[in-house]
Amino acid sequence: MTVGSVTAGSSVSELAIETRGLSKRFGHQDAVAELDLSVPRGAVFGFLGPNGSGKTTTIRMLLGLASATSGSINVLGLAIPDRLHDVLPWVGALVEGPAFYPFLSGADNLHRLDTADPRAPASTRTARVARALDRVGLSHASHKKVRAYSLGMKQRLGIANALLVQRELLVLDEPTNGLDPQGTREVRSLVRTLAAEGTTVFLSTHLLAEVEQICTHAAVMSAGRLVAQGTLDELRSGKARLMLHTPDVVSARQVLISLGIEPDMAGDGIVSAALPEYQGEPESIVAALVAAGIRVRGFSVDSATLEDRFVALTGEGFNVVQ
């Protein structure tokens, strides 16, 4: 398989996207600061962060739509912007919402856009347009004028445009924006199918559910900076939390401290603590409490969730359902 004039694969890079020290400054404001991003080939990579965290600015730099103030970018093993014309034919993208001719049908819009792609063979255009519309569930509306499309239908049409020819990398900026639950499920299913076919999917979103359900890897942005990245399991690897219900709060705190556990909340019959890498089982903590005469009315140890980690990393909550 080739990308431009360079062979893709391990001989070039195992990363579909790689940035080092990538920064974008507007005046005295850093929109993106010292970003070191590593997106493995074949991954469904969730690019997460609250609104205004630098996600869209980063995507614009990756696609050559904005110049970087400093740092380096490699996409599919080639430097951006130097090799942009070699890279872009292999990248499908949906950024900041789709824009189409409102007086043309969905199919006619895709025909016009495909005509502008020098790599797209004219002989298969009609078949490819029909297939792309079918993949995003718009076959029934292919001849309807786009001005009559809902926001969700326009979003799916944008994804169809990105799928007109074979892509090595698909970049989607908030792809389920405006979709109803059924449309959201269809897009998620489509992303899974594309990943199974070997396409790397880079998915920018502020919806935790998107990452939980379809991503293999993720990165978290906050105020223009990368605060974490890795597999989902790695991102979930925060400390577990202990929750103790007891009328003996003061004495229970002392026992926990003696075990190397520092309580961070106490009162109204509840003691809570972040649980370090404790050598014993949770049962041994309960045994130590009981041995010290602590009346245990309830005890639980809960692993850190992805939402817990994101809130801890960014200081902001995420939309977790849609």
pLDDT(225) > 60: yes
pTM (global) more than 0.75: no
pLDDT(305) > 90: no
pLDDT(4) > 80: no
Q: Is the Cβ–Cβ distance between 229 and 236 less than 8 Å?
A: no
Rounded to whole angstroms, the Cα distance separating 114 from 62 reads 22
147 and 69 in a common domain? yes
266 and 159 in a common domain? no
183 and 34 in a common domain? yes
Instruction: Tell me the one-letter amino acid at 159.
Output: I
Say if 220 falls within a structural domain.
yes
Pick from 149, 154, 210: which is nearest to 185 by CA?
210
CATH number at residue 289: 3.30.70.100
Rounded to whole angstroms, the Cα distance separating 322 from 309 reads 20
**Two tokens at 311?**
């809130």
Residue 23: count of CB within 10 angstroms of its CB? 19
Give the pLDDT confidence of 100-117 residue by residue, as tens digits: 999 999 999 999 999 988
Rounded to whole angstroms, the Cα distance separating 1 from 309 reads 38
Q: What is the number of structural domains in the chain?
A: 2
**Mean pLDDT across 22-42:** 93
Least confident of 232-241, 250-259, 261-270, 273-282: 273-282
pLDDT(276) > 90: no
Q: Residue 14 carries which DSSP code?
A: S
Domain boundary among 208, 235, 262: 235
Which residue is listed with tokens 């590593």? 38
Q: Which helix (H) or strand (E) holds 20?
A: strand 15-26
Q: Which residue has the higher pLDDT, 318 or 10?
A: 318
Number of H helices, E strands in the chain: 11, 17
The SS3 of residue 191 is helix
Average pLDDT value for the chain = 85
Least confident of 91-100, 111-120, 221-230: 91-100
Report pLDDT for 7: 38
With pLDDT > 70 as the criterion, what percentage of the chain qualifies? 87
Rounded to whole angstroms, the Cα distance separating 102 from 233 reads 44
CATH number at residue 94: 3.40.50.300
Say if 321 falls within a structural domain.
no
Domain boundary among 205, 235, 265: 235
246 and 230 in a common domain? no
34 and 104 in a common domain? yes
Q: How far is CA 69 from CA 27, 73, 259, in A?
A: 11, 12, 50
Cα dihedral 172, 176, 182, 186, rounded to 10, equals 0
Report pLDDT for 320: 41
Rounded to whole angstroms, the Cα distance separating 145 from 153 reads 11
Q: Residue 8 carries which DSSP code?
A: -
Alpha helices in 168-281 (DSSP H): 181-196, 208-214, 232-235, 249-258
Structural domain range at position 256: 240-303
Pick from 204, 196, 169: which is nearest to 15 by CA?
169
